[in-house]
Amino acid sequence: MSNAKLWGGRFQATNEEWVDSFGASISFDQALVLEDIQGSLAHVKMLGATGILPEADVSLITEGLQTLMEQAKNDQLVYTVANEDIHLNIEKLLHDLIGPVAGKLHTGRSRNDQVATDMHLYLLKQVPLATELITKLQTVLIDLAEQHIHTVMPGYTHLQRAQPISFAHHLMAYFWMLERDKGRFEDSIKRIDLLPLGAGALAGTTFPIDRHLSAELLGFSKPYANSLDAVSDRDFSVEYLSNAALVMMHLSRFCEELILWSSDEFKFIELSDTFATGSSIMPQKKNPDMAELIRGKTGRVYGDLVGLLTVLKGLPLAYNKDMQEDKEGVFDTAHTLEGALTIMAGMIETMTVNVAHLEATTKQDFSNATELADYLAAKQLPFRQAHEIVGQLVLFCIQNNIYLADLSLETLQAAHPLFEADIFTVLQPETAVARRNSYGGTGFEQVKAQIHEAKALLA
């Protein structure tokens, strides 16, 4: 095989080297080498089964591809920009190995359906990996939540203390976010589980191929029903990026809380030294860099999603060279997501929860104010009237530098005679949490039930 382009028959001039370099994708699509060879092995087997290629050619090509597969697994293959992409590089390497018969492998297919097939195969591996890592993180959350069902902390709205809650309840909120993330990934499989191979460049092929056999050999449920759609569809990649972006958004929100909670201002937790770094100039510093990196890398994944949507938004059917830009963002996101989920699980599993400090904070705020209003409302005072009375009591406390639990019964009864001595039990943060026993609430019994439900889901 000469050094001329495999597609260069009608060309009289060759590209300059820098043009080749600009147009080549081998620097990144070599990540698809195993998928590319896997697709080729199925394709040549189908060509043999349909009688398109003689058995001798099929055997020789198959043997050559299996050799390349082993070399690829051992990082022994050498790629060149001159051969542009992973497909032409593999074809050239196969030619060097078995001779001109390697050229028969491309019968009945195009690089257009070949690259689409590679990406489907790639994401069929990446999606289960993502769900596996999500499940591991969920397991870590459940384990920590079980240890802190009765740990009381301030719950927040607007980053202002709102009502006391169980620390386990806060952790489990992220469990359910991740459960939805996992469900989206699992649902996306049915749209990745379509085979483009055999669609050709855009119109199918004149050879009597068996696309359903190719699908069966590669483990796909079925081939695309429309050849134009098969080579131009990148919805499945967009969906993967979108699902990953949602996961990263959830991780980023959690990381923001870990960053706040580990600060001297909060002191709710301490991150393990394993997941923190120091300062080059300030000896006392312990920085939550891993949490900050996950938060930062979320923007990177968003960029990958927007980048691919932008590439696709104006493309006519079917394949266009623009679509070469569909891969790097997917590879980058897959790498980022794997790292973020793994780091997140490690941070949660090894952090220290400052239980005493958490619980002390709930006794030094007005997060029990709603308990007073609910107390009066339960005695049939209209809630809006109860709300106003308690608001006035809070103002009185602020003016006198005290908290609601510091008020005397006489002061409370002066505000409204419905207050009785049991109000001081109601005002305790532990009581406030325990009483919120509606389904999905922060009540200790409800949190136990929630954890039980979560465990059943994972099981």
Closest CA to 45 of 205, 217, 201, 199: 217
Element (H, E) at 381: none
148 near 355, Cβ under 8 Å? yes
Single-letter code of the amino acid located at 359: E
Please provide the size of the chain in residues: 459
Cα–chain center distance at 244? 3
77 near 33, Cβ under 8 Å? yes
Q: What's the half-sphere exposure (Cβ side, CA atoms, 13 Å) at 31?
A: 18
Catalytic residue among 21, 263, 279, 452: 279
207-213 contact pairs (CB < 8 A, 24+)? 207/50, 207/52, 207/107, 207/108, 208/50, 208/51, 208/52, 209/46, 209/47, 209/50, 209/52, 209/108, 210/46, 210/49, 210/50, 213/46, 213/49, 213/50
- Bridge pairing between strands 194-195 and 222-223: parallel
Phi, psi of 16 (to 5 degrees): -70, 160
The token duo for 123 is: 């994401």
242 a catalytic residue: no
292 near 275, Cβ under 8 Å? no
First CA to last CA across the chain, in angstroms? 56
Element (H, E) at 274: none
- CB 79: neighbour CB atoms within 10 A? 20
Catalytic residue among 158, 280, 408, 438: 158
Q: Is the peptide bond before 318 cis (omega within 30 degrees of 0)?
A: yes
Residue 269 neighbours by CB under 8 Å, 6+ apart: 258, 261, 262, 351, 352, 353, 354
279 a catalytic residue: yes
- CB 182: neighbour CB atoms within 10 A? 22
Active site amino acids = 158, 279
